[in-house]
Amino acid sequence: MKSWIANTKINALLGADSQKIDGVKVRRTLIEYCERYQEIYPFDILEAPLEFLKNNVNSDSQYREMRALLRAAAEEYCISLNEIADALLDLIDTHTLTADQAKKIINHVFEAFSCNESPEDFIPREDTYLCKNLFAITTS
């Protein structure tokens, strides 16, 4: 997969402040970020897993069910769905993110955006959005 975030401010922010990040807060912010993508380019199959992640439910059976839905979504024919599902799989399996894991998840979302928009359109907008939201939690 292409590194969409290599030359972005968010990549620099996560690299420079990697020791200062709160992995739990970063995870929550990236769940919200995936939900933002879902609002723009919705997929019915992702609604229940996103609700599960947002509500932070602690149920093994529901976890398995949501993970199975995401696994199915990751294997669909639509690349943008595959990428968002992969990002959500990383989020569902990890409760405290490292900077490298956060970069990987963001890259999945950028890859999904690239299926629908030109990089010149989405990268500056999404980079600004992420910097604003992640900077707020790295300086707290």
Predicted confidence at residue 16, as pLDDT, reads 76
Q: Which residues of 3-25 are buried (b: 16+ CB within 10 A; e: fewer)?
A: ebbeebebbebbeeeeeebeeeb
Reported as a single tens digit per residue, the pLDDT across 22-34 is 899 999 999 999 9
Model confidence band, residue 44 (pLDDT cutoffs 50, 70, 90): very high
Alpha helices in the chain (DSSP H): 9-16, 23-40, 47-55, 60-74, 79-93, 99-114, 119-138
Mean pLDDT taken over the chain: 91
User: Over the stretch 61-110, which tens digit does the pLDDT of each residue have?
Assistant: 899 999 999 999 999 889 999 999 999 999 999 999 999 999 999 999 99
Q: How far apart are CA 102 and CA 131, in angstroms?
A: 12
Q: What is the pLDDT of residue 18?
A: 62
Residue 47 one-letter amino acid: E
pTM of the model: 0.93
- The candidate with the shortest Cα–Cα distance to 37, out of 103, 105, 136, is 105
Q: Which residue has the higher pLDDT, 102 or 140?
A: 102
Cβ partners under 8 Å of residue 35, min gap 6: 50, 54
